[in-house]
Amino acid sequence: MALLIATKVRHHFGGLCAISDFNLELHQGELMGIIGPNGAGKTTVFNLITGVYRASEGSIRLRESELVGMTPHQITARRIARTFQNIRLFRDLSVLDNVRIAQYSKTRYSPLEALLHLGRFRREEQRIIEHSRDLLAIFKLEHLAGETARNLPYGSQRRLEIARALATGPELLLLDEPAAGMNPAEIDQLMDFIRWIREQFQLTILLIEHQMQLVMGICERIKVLDFGETLAEGTPEAIRNDPWVMKAYLGAEAVG
């Protein structure tokens, strides 16, 4: 079943065409990657899907819902979450509060109940704290719940960012260069971790990545972009054996 369908999407920044005739069909439960050099338009695609930018032309549909024209919080409410290439945490808040804050779009108490700390507010706050602590335990961060986010090591900040994204209850998770700054051993661990969270949370995952070790090892399909245009799409094996992609993107060592 197709979960996300992008059809003939174009996006312009002034006179510059950043994305041209982009098409994507992402199936429920799939793990797909987008690769390409810097400036290829990969993060622009994520920004279009999540409502940061509004597509100049074309359609992006989550099942029956047209996403073009929706705000980021409306799209989050439709169960799409993302991480960023450069980690974006609330750096001066605690680890626990970073996860808690992601859930407030789904609270069911009124401003008056919050102001007066009435029963429904207290119950909802307790539920949010318990769910946040459960997520931190899953990500092995529970012992750091009271720590300020800026003080976490890089790898822990990455895990916290993913935990915060999952706190919104997504079915589609967009990962923007999750392996950035990691060594080969850490990338192996990340691959296992991504596979695990897909199964644990029943996710569909679309990721952007430069690390071919991760892309080739984990993705079921790969789309190659350059200057906003799709150059190739297929299985990792097909992309690995595409002579142009091999030369321009992967290099002899990466595909050897």
Question: Which of 26, 4, 66, 46 is closest to 18 using CA atoms?
Answer: 46
Looking at the predicted structure, is the pLDDT value of residue 57 above 70? Answer: yes
Helix axes 184-201, 154-166, angle to 10 degrees: 20
Q: Provide the pLDDT for residue 252.
A: 46
Note the pLDDT of residue 123: 79
> Structural domains in the chain?
2-79+170-255 (3.40.50.300)
d(CA 82, CA 176): 7
* 115 pLDDT above the threshold of 50: yes
| pLDDT 10s digits, 194-252 | 999 999 999 999 999 988 889 999 999 999 998 889 989 999 999 988 887 776 665 54
Report percent pLDDT > 90 for the chain.
Answer: 65
**End-to-end Cα, the chain, rounded Å:** 35
